[in-house]
Amino acid sequence: MNDLNENAVKRCLVLGGSGFIGSHLVDELLKRGLQVRCFDRPHVKPVSALHLGNANFELCEGDFVSEADIARALDGCDICFHLVSTTLPQSSNADPVFDVESNVMGSVRLLHQAVKHGLKKIVFVSSGGTVYGIPKEVPIRETHPTDPLSSYGITKLAIEKYLHLHKVLHGLDYTILRLANPYGERQRINASQGAVAVFLGKVLRGETVEIWGDGSVVRDYIHIADVVDALVTAAGFSGNEHIFNIGSGRGHSLNELLDAIEAATGRKAERRYLPGRPFDVPTSVLCIERARQALGWSPKVGFEEGLRRFSDWLGTSAGEDRH
């Protein structure tokens, strides 16, 4: 069964619902007529104001690491989407203790409370770009060895294992989505991560794009609409598989990305090539056959179309805020 409504879901909890991915998910769940509780840190400016004023929308402010806050958030919910991360891949190695204390311990407390509150299911967003480490074969399947090179990847994997443990011990259902590189509307373009957003921002501002290496590094980029589709599909899924790669299944080099940005924006991308970084693996592309077969999900937004949508949105007043 792949339908949330058929699963008699009444209220969904979205942890990290004011963020880039979470806010799109909240919009989609509301569009489907579901009640949605969005949990995020106090005073975080929501990246979408669309859901404010919707009678089915509820904002629940708190700290993910507080068990009391999480218990309050879970009360009366059937499904929880776990999209909080307190760290980023690049910076997580600087303070692994914080990474473990906030992400792993926070998630274990969440699972403890989820069992107590009789939650039906958790959908967890993991990371296809970090849990595998250096790919031994491409495209990368879910069965590929996991040897993360960042604390972020290790804590994502640890949370995956605790989800499995709670299914075995307590029957709490779960689905894990190992995401490739999401991009699209509402993503910050002035942040340091996300090549699509950073490059697009630089090209639109007329700044030179700095590229580590010769631009041949290949990554798998997936538009936010396809990510949300996968999240909602995963929530209604009740089959035997629990871990799915979610990407486009196609690779694009940084040079191809810049060519596509030039086509989408009609502007020239000034490029400066810098020495390559040893930790950038040459190619990372996810195999998405399992998601296609078991979830019946497949990406629908092509790369050029996705870039055009993102670029057009940045030209609107909502997009101006993200500059």
Ligand X SMILES: NC(=O)c1ccc[n+]([C@@H]2O[C@H](COP(=O)([O-])OP(=O)(O)OC[C@H]3O[C@@H](n4cnc5c(N)ncnc54)[C@H](O)[C@@H]3O)[C@@H](O)[C@H]2O)c1
The answer to whether 181 contacts ligand X (rule: CB under 6 A) is: yes
Q: Check 152, 162, 183, 221 and give the catalytic one.
A: 152
Question: How would you class 97 by CB atoms within 10 Å of its CB: exposed for 0-12, middle for 13-18, buried for 19 or more?
Answer: exposed
Structure tokens given for 232: 């909602």
Backbone torsions φ then ψ of 120, nearest 5 degrees: -85, -40
> Which residue in 84, 154, 200, 230 binds ligand X (CB under 6 A)?
84
Shorter beta-carbon distance to ligand X: residue 44 or 50: 44
The string of DSSP letters for 13-55 reads: EEETTTSHHHHHHHHHHHHTT-EEEEEE-TTPPPS--TTTT-T
C-alpha span between 54 and 17 (Å, rounded) = 15
16 binding ligand X? (CB under 6 A): yes
| Site residues (CB under 6 A) for ligand X, limited to 108-167 | 125, 127
The DSSP code for 68 is H
Closest residue to ligand X: CB criterion: 19
Options 41, 112, 141, 292; binder of ligand X; rule CB under 6 A: 41
Alpha helices per DSSP H over the chain: 20-31, 67-74, 96-99, 105-116, 151-170, 195-205, 224-235, 254-265, 289-290, 303-314, 317-320
- Applying CB under 6 A, which of residues 9, 13, 21, 261 lies at the interface with ligand X? 21
Nearer to ligand X (CB atom), residue 44 or residue 267: 44
Q: Which of residues 250-309 bind ligand X (CB under 6 A)?
A: none
Residues 183-212 as x/- pattern, contact with ligand X by CB under 6 A:
-----------x------------------
Rounded to whole angstroms, the Cα distance separating 178 from 200 reads 24
Closest approach, Cβ 230 to ligand X, in A, equals 12
221 in helix, strand or coil? strand
Phi, psi of 92 (to 5 degrees): -65, -30
152 is known as an active-site residue: yes
**20 touches ligand X by CB under 6 A:** yes
**40 contributes a contact to ligand X by CB under 6 A:** yes
Report the interface residues with ligand X, using CB under 6 A. 16, 18-22, 40-41, 44, 63-65, 83-86, 125, 127, 179, 181-182, 194
The residues annotated as belonging to the active site are 152
